[in-house]
């Protein structure tokens, strides 16, 4: 028998119970069922997990993350997914978990780490909005030691100029290839979104690889979108991850890691395709031409 949490019998007035149910049911049954559903819903976005639960998740993702991508990228996946799907304060818990390691024993190393965390959160602004990444930054700032604070400014002097547009265009087309025309066509009648895609989303946020590489950026983008259960855009970036150099097996393992975070946070990721579903879309015209030449 399933265990449910009983609400206080005075939680709902009789009129509310009778309005919801054509044939009034005993208050205890109604409030028990409602409380069970409501308590489960509260475990979704913003779930407040214990340090022990979080540590187990961190270790699981580190162990499950594809080793071929390097040992310093698994926590980027956690930032990209937990910032959206859980309480963004947990990014500070991840920071605390990381700086306890010998790799981050010095202030210089911890400053380098916070630059990578900050850049990941900055890029996430273009994917999930500013409030949750900003909340994570507030919490990290609260727990940082003064000597570990990094005062660098990665976008100082940024301009929405031709150079920025060229850089954004270059990275977008590296991900989308010939499929970028689809994006252009869709935004012909929505020029504000066309402008922000090229100049801001890609120009300002995603094409700057001074701190995170192009592969690391696409990892953040894929995970930050997949955890939102967005079918079409996840499909675009499953392709993008393959086109930027990740293997099919690595992308699938990243997907599995995202699913682990989703289960932990009790959010759904059941609408998104898998890399196997889009693999036939990965080659672009130059690949197809090469295959034709080889076979002829």
In the predicted model, is pLDDT for residue 31 greater than 70?
A: no
Distance CA 66, CA 73 (A): 9
Count of structural domains within the chain: 2
User: Are the C-beta atoms of residues 265 and 257 closer than 8 Å to each other?
Assistant: no
Q: Assess if residue 62 is contained within a domain.
A: yes
Are 228 and 126 in a shared domain? yes
Q: Assess if residue 77 is contained within a domain.
A: yes
- pLDDT greater at residue 292 or residue 235: 235
What average pLDDT does range 232-252 have in this prediction?
98
Q: Assess if residue 35 is contained within a domain.
A: yes
In the predicted model, is pLDDT for residue 6 greater than 90?
A: no
Are 126 and 19 in a shared domain? no
What average pLDDT does range 255-281 have in this prediction?
98
Are 127 and 13 in a shared domain? no
In the predicted model, is pLDDT for residue 263 greater than 60?
A: yes
pLDDT tens for 157-185 read 999 999 999 999 999 999 999 999 999 99
Cα diameter, the chain: 79
Q: What is the pTM of this model?
A: 0.83
Are 223 and 279 in a shared domain? yes
The CB density around residue 116, as the number of other CB atoms within 10 Å, is 18
In the predicted model, is pLDDT for residue 255 greater than 90?
A: yes
Interhelix angle 131-143/107-128, nearest 10 degrees: 160
Q: Assess if residue 14 is contained within a domain.
A: yes
**Whole-number pLDDT of residue 44:** 56
In the predicted model, is pLDDT for residue 190 greater than 50?
A: yes
Are 289 and 212 in a shared domain? yes
In the predicted model, is pLDDT for residue 26 greater than 60?
A: no
**Whole-number pLDDT of residue 7:** 38
Q: Assess if residue 242 is contained within a domain.
A: yes
Are 32 and 127 in a shared domain? no
**Whole-number pLDDT of residue 287:** 53
In the predicted model, is pLDDT for residue 9 greater than 80?
A: no
Distance CA 206, CA 202 (A): 5
Buried b (16+ CB within 10 A) or exposed e, 193-226: eeebbbbbbbbbbbbbeebbeebbbbbbbbbbbb
Per DSSP, 194 falls in state H
Q: Assess if residue 114 is contained within a domain.
A: no
Comparing 28-42, 50-64, 132-146, 269-283, the range with the smallest average pLDDT is 28-42
Are 231 and 126 in a shared domain? yes
**Whole-number pLDDT of residue 46:** 57
Are 37 and 126 in a shared domain? no
H or E stretch covering 132: helix 131-143
Are 24 and 127 in a shared domain? no
Are 55 and 31 in a shared domain? no
pLDDT tens for 112-148 read 999 999 999 999 999 999 999 999 999 999 999 999 9
**Whole-number pLDDT of residue 34:** 37
**Whole-number pLDDT of residue 285:** 55
Are 237 and 127 in a shared domain? yes
- Range of the structural domain that residue 34 is part of: 1-41
Cβ-based neighbours of 276, under 8 Å, separated by 6 or more? 248, 252
Are 238 and 260 in a shared domain? yes
Q: Assess if residue 136 is contained within a domain.
A: no
In the predicted model, is pLDDT for residue 5 greater than 80?
A: no
């Amino acid at each position: 028998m399933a265990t449910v949490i009983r609400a206080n019998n005075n939680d709902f007035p009789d009129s509310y119970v009778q309005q919801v149910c054509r044939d009034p049911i005993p208050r205890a049954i109604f409030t028990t069922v409602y409380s069970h559903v409501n308590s489960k819903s509260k475990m979704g976005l913003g779930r407040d997990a214990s340090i022990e639960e979080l540590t187990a998740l961190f270790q699981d993702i580190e162990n499950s993350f594809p080793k071929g991508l390097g040992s310093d990228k698994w926590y980027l996946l956690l930032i990209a997914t937990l910032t959206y799907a859980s309480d963004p304060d947990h990014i500070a818990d991840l920071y605390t978990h990381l700086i306890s390691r010998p790799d981050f024993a010095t202030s210089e190393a911890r400053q380098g780490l916070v630059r990578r965390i900050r850049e990941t959160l900055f890029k996430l602004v273009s994917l999930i909005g500013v409030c949750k990444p900003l909340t994570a930054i507030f919490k990290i700032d609260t727990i940082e030691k003064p000597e570990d604070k990094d005062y660098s400014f990665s976008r100082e002097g940024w301009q929405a100029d031709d150079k920025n547009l060229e850089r954004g265009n270059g990275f977008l087309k590296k991900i989308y290839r010939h499929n970028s025309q689809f994006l252009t066509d869709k935004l012909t009648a929505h020029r504000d979104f066309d402008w922000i895609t090229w100049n801001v989303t890609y120009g300002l946020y995603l094409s700057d690889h001074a701190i995170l590489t192009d592969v690391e950026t696409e990892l953040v983008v894929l995970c930050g979108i997949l955890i939102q259960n967005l079918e079409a855009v996840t499909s675009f970036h499953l392709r993008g991850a393959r086109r930027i150099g990740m293997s099919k097996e690595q992308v699938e393992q990243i997907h599995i890691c995202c699913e682990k975070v989703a289960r932990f946070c009790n959010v759904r990721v059941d609408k998104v395709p898998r890399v196997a579903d889009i693999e036939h879309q990965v080659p672009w015209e130059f690949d197809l031409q090469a295959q034709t030449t080889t076979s002829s």
